[in-house]
Every structure is written in structure tokens, then in C-alpha cells.
Chain A
Amino acid sequence: MSASLSPLLPKEDAREAALFFVVCALCFLAALSGLVSRSAYAAADAWTNDVTGQITVRVRGDDAALARAVEVTTATPGIATARAITRAEAEELLQPWLGAGGVPATLPLPRLVAAEAAPDSDAKDLVLRLTAGLKSAGLETVVDDHLVWSADVRKSIDLAGLVALTAVGLLAATGVAVIAFATHATLLARRDIVELLHLSGAQDGFIAGLFERRFLMLGVQAGALGALMAFGAAAFVLYLLRQSDAQIWLLPQLSLSLADGLILGLAPLVAGVASMIAARVTVMRSLADMV
């Protein structure tokens, strides 16, 4: 006599091993999409925060014009600080593309004024007033508050986020469809058990519960493994980036932060619950065909 009773549904077979692999792979891809999407948002925030309140004035003319532009800019209400960017600083900015000492002495570099808006100033109004002030001072300048660039970055990241969310949604839908298909196959393969339970007076909920518990566990376990693999892949990419000379500030912020942990933690839960619901709906529908 058993110390503990065997489950009414037999333990997993080869079909469930294949299903485990599929759910695991789907969770891996979904978690990875989530991680990439979140880190892209984080990167966009970092980039746009860096330039918020920063105003650059490009000056056409000689050093005198540059000095005059600094004066006018500093005097404009709403500007906290303003200073001219030296040639050495401009060369340093170009260094990632042209290399150290890569700027020929004869190459004319734009004369720039770096200004910072006061925290409570209206950026649009400030740019308009600064442009008007520079113009009335007889200076030929272009004022850039990076708003257009920030908006473009934000728009691109929003689009990328939407694509990632769509991918996660499609992967989840695929997972649900696969589980439903597998449940139906299991139901057909175990029809003898289902019929016997049914004829023994088991309610549909009792029978569905057997499948629900089975697929909940499968979803959670496969989801956990998939999330773990996504964590490993993200950590590996992060490691490679940190080991290389790549300009990682341009790349998404793969930080494996608390938010990333939340994504990784949610993946198995979502996989488990989706599996459970898919199994229940499939079983209840199939049982409805019986007497």
C-alpha cells in the first residue's frame, strides 16, 4: 500500500519534455525581449536626461563673435551659465570618431557656446528669446536645445518598446496556443482516465484541476528555466561589453537592476498562470462534448 497516492494523471512523458522545451524557449525569448525593451527605455532616459536643460549655440564668425555670443547668452534671463567650448574640448568630443590627435590643425571646427538653462525656465520660450537676443546683437547663430533630438530618441525608443511588447505578446499567445494544443493531445491520450473519472462521478472542475496543476507546474518550471537562461544571456552580453572597448554609453543600459529582476521573476509566474488557464479552458471545452 502506498505511503502517498500516485497522481491520477500519470507522470510526464516524452510529449511533456518537448512541451517543457518549447515553453522554456518562449519564456527565454519573452524575458530577453522584456529586458532589452526595459534597458532601451533606461538608455533613452539617460540620454535625454543628459541633454535636458542644455543649450548649444553654434556661432558663425571669429573668436570675437564667439565671445560676444557668450556675453549675450549669459545676459539672457533664464540662462544659468554659459561658456565657450574651447578647441581642445571640441577635439576631445571628436576623438571617438577621429582618434586622439586626429583633428588636423587646419580643420575649421565650429565655434560653440555651451549654456545651461535655469531649472525653472521654459525651454521653448528661452530658446526663442535667446535666438532673438543673439540676432539683435548682429550675430549669426544657430541655437539648439536638443529638444528635437530628444523627441526623436524618445519616439524611436517608444517604437522599439512597442515592437518588444508586441513580441512579448506574440510569444505569450504562442505559449498559450502550444499549451492548449498539448493539453488537448494529453486529453486525447488520457481519454481512458478522463472517461473513468467522469463515469465515477467526477465533476468537470475536478478533472480540469488535474490538468491545471500539471500544466501550472510545467509552466512555472519551464518559465523559471527560460528566465534564468535570459538572465545568463544578459549577464554574458554585459560582461562582454564591459570587457571590450565598445562605447557602451551608446548601448542600452544592461544593468540587471531590480526592474530586470522583476521581469525575470514575472516570466515564470506568467508562464505558469497562462499554462494553467489554457489547460483549464481546453479541458472544460473537451469535457463539454461528453455526456
Chain B
Amino acid sequence: MREQGLAADDPVLRLDRVGLSYGPENDVLSDVSLSLAPGSLTFLTGPSGAGKSTLLKLAYLGLRPTAGRVSIFGVDTTRLSRRELAPLRRRVGVVFQEFRLLDHLSAYENVALPLRVAGAQERTYREDVVELLTWVGLGDRLEARPATLSGGEKQRVAIARAVVVKPNLILADEPTGNVDEEMGDRLFRLFRELNKRLGTTILIATHDMALVRKAKSDVLRLADGMVMRVPASALAAKEEPA
């Protein structure tokens, strides 16, 4: 699927020599360059504290870099105003590591939140939201508040919320971190399906190397403030027994 205002071969997300520091001696990211092609599914791996979550935060426009340039859907966001960033954010679905579900809303209402922000009427999305929650195995928990959900259930609600608007780009921070292997596989199949059927570009930050190996997708490895791309083929070769 071609992104709006994006040439066929333009990356959906592009970071050019991006740096982020919280002070002179506190560089979180020093010189990160990467690009995600339209319709790609990529993993972001790296040791704890390497800055995976920070990189995702830059990508979903939750932070501005202290150096370099972040472009999304072919738009350089460096000089965009807050008002101009909002429409771009609506085209990005984010699965936060800490879920960020709103406690006073039901699972159904949490999933519907991005649609309410976009101004959609409930009657136009009710069935889609129910279907989506049913698909992630929460068809019987529509009215449940987050406080009554398990970690895995919260995770699935968070994923459903991220994909409900059929975004052009999905950024997921440890989306299978709180679910068992079976549910992890199922959730990954959801990402894969969105990627294949709708051409949604997906970047998944994860520690789950088993999932990465099964997925046979490209990997971006973040270490020492820099990113290195590992093609799926290279990863597979590395896994093969000598």
C-alpha cells in the first residue's frame, strides 16, 4: 500500500544521524540512521538500556531529537509545529511497553480511544472494535476495566488499540513481553496479517529472540547508541548449525 504523499520507494520512517542526549555527558542515542521501507516488518533488538524505547519514542513523535532529522511518511518533522504533528501521529499505531491503558475506561473504550480522537461516531466503529477484541481473545471482556485484566490481557488490549485505526505504521515496544508463547505467536500473526494484507509498516522492539528467529524478518540491532541492520537471511544463516 502506498502511503499518502509518499513516493513508492520513500521510506515510511527515516532517521538521519539522529542523536538524543539529556546533557553534555548523557547521550542516549549518538548517531542513529535507519529507514523502514513501506510494507516492511522489522525487529529492533539490543541489550537492555540500549535505547530501543527511546528510539521508538522518537519515531512516534513523543520526543524531538537533539541532533539529526526524523522523517515520517516522507515528511521531515524537524520544523513541524505541534498542530502539524498531530495528523502524522494519527497514522501511527503505538503499542507501549507499559500498555498505557486508561483505568477509568473499559477494554472496549480503551481500544476505541484513537477513533474517538479522530472524531468517529461510535455506531461507525462498534462492530470493528468488538471484532478486533474478539480476535485477540477478549470478546468476553469488553466491559472489563484494566485493573481487572491480567498482564497479557492488557497487552492484547493495547495492541488492539494500536491497530484499530489501521495505521500506516505500527511501532510496538515489547508487544509479546507479557504473554505466553502461544499468545505471542498469535499476536505476531496479527502483526504479520496487517503487514501482508494492508501493507502496514511495522517496527517491533523486542528481547524475544525466539520470535525474531521465527519471523524471518530484518533486524535492526541497537547497541552503543548506534544501529546496525541485520538482514533476515544473515540471521537465518547465523542460526544454521555448522
Cα A71 to Cα B175 in complex, Å, equals 108
**Nearest neighbor of A10 in chain B, beta-carbon distance:** B104
**Nearest neighbor of A192 in chain B, beta-carbon distance:** B100
Among A199, A206, A288, the residue within 8 A (CB) of B82 is: A288
**Nearest neighbor of B61 in chain A, beta-carbon distance:** A291
Does A200 contact B117, Cβ atoms closer than 8 Å?
A: yes
Does B89 contact A200, Cβ atoms closer than 8 Å?
A: yes
B63 on interface, CB distance cutoff 8 Å? yes
A290 on interface, CB distance cutoff 8 Å? yes
Stretch at the interface among B108-116, B190-198, B217-225: B108-116
A106 on interface, CB distance cutoff 8 Å? no
Does B89 contact A2, Cβ atoms closer than 8 Å?
A: no
B207 on interface, CB distance cutoff 8 Å? no
B238 on interface, CB distance cutoff 8 Å? no
A133-157 interface mask toward B, CB cutoff 8 Å, 1 = contact, 0 = none? 0000000000000000000000000
Does B109 contact A201, Cβ atoms closer than 8 Å?
A: no
B122 on interface, CB distance cutoff 8 Å? yes
Cα A4 to Cα B108 in complex, Å, equals 12
A203 on interface, CB distance cutoff 8 Å? yes
B143 on interface, CB distance cutoff 8 Å? yes
A204 neighbours in B (Cβ, 8 Å): 82-83
A200 neighbours in B (Cβ, 8 Å): 89-90, 113-114, 117
B64-86 interface mask toward A, CB cutoff 8 Å, 1 = contact, 0 = none? 10000000000000000011011
- Chain A CB within 10 Å — which of B86, B90, B118, B143 has the most? B86
User: What's the dominant secondary structure at chain A's contact region?
Assistant: loop
A202 on interface, CB distance cutoff 8 Å? yes
Q: Give chain A interface residues in 189-228, CB to chain B under 8 Å.
A: 192-193, 195-204, 206
A5 on interface, CB distance cutoff 8 Å? yes
Does B117 contact A206, Cβ atoms closer than 8 Å?
A: yes
- Total residues of chain B contacting the partner, CB 8 A: 34
Does B104 contact A2, Cβ atoms closer than 8 Å?
A: no
Cα A199 to Cα B113 in complex, Å, equals 11
Does A199 contact B104, Cβ atoms closer than 8 Å?
A: no
B100 neighbours in A (Cβ, 8 Å): 192, 195-196
Q: A1-B143, A5-B116, A291-B82 are in contact. Are A201 and B87 (CB under 8 A)?
A: yes
Q: A196-B100, A291-B64 are in contact. Are A202 and B86 (CB under 8 A)?
A: yes
CB distance from B90 to the nearest CB of A (A): 3
Does B117 contact A291, Cβ atoms closer than 8 Å?
A: no
Does A291 contact B116, Cβ atoms closer than 8 Å?
A: no
B136 on interface, CB distance cutoff 8 Å? no
Q: Give chain B interface residues in 124-151, CB to chain A under 8 Å.
A: 126, 130, 142-143
Q: Give chain A interface residues in 249-291, CB to chain B under 8 Å.
A: 287-288, 290-291
A193 neighbours in B (Cβ, 8 Å): 102
Among B82, B83, B122, the residue within 8 A (CB) of A5 is: B122
B49 on interface, CB distance cutoff 8 Å? no
Q: A199-B60, A201-B114 are in contact. Are A1 and B87 (CB under 8 A)?
A: no
A202 neighbours in B (Cβ, 8 Å): 86, 117
Does A6 contact B83, Cβ atoms closer than 8 Å?
A: no
Does A196 contact B102, Cβ atoms closer than 8 Å?
A: yes
A8 neighbours in B (Cβ, 8 Å): 102, 105, 113, 116
Does A6 contact B89, Cβ atoms closer than 8 Å?
A: no
A11 neighbours in B (Cβ, 8 Å): 104
Does B105 contact A197, Cβ atoms closer than 8 Å?
A: no
B206 on interface, CB distance cutoff 8 Å? no
B106 on interface, CB distance cutoff 8 Å? yes
**Nearest neighbor of B122 in chain A, beta-carbon distance:** A5
Cα A105 to Cα B126 in complex, Å, equals 96
CB distance from A178 to the nearest CB of B (A): 25
A162-202 interface mask toward B, CB cutoff 8 Å, 1 = contact, 0 = none? 00000000000000000000000000000011011111111
9 A-B pairs within 8 Å (CB atoms) are namely A2-B109, A2-B143, A6-B105, A192-B102, A199-B60, A199-B62, A201-B89, A206-B117, A291-B82
Closest 9 CB pairs of A and B: A201-B90, A201-B89, A10-B104, A202-B117, A200-B117, A200-B114, A201-B86, A203-B86, A1-B142
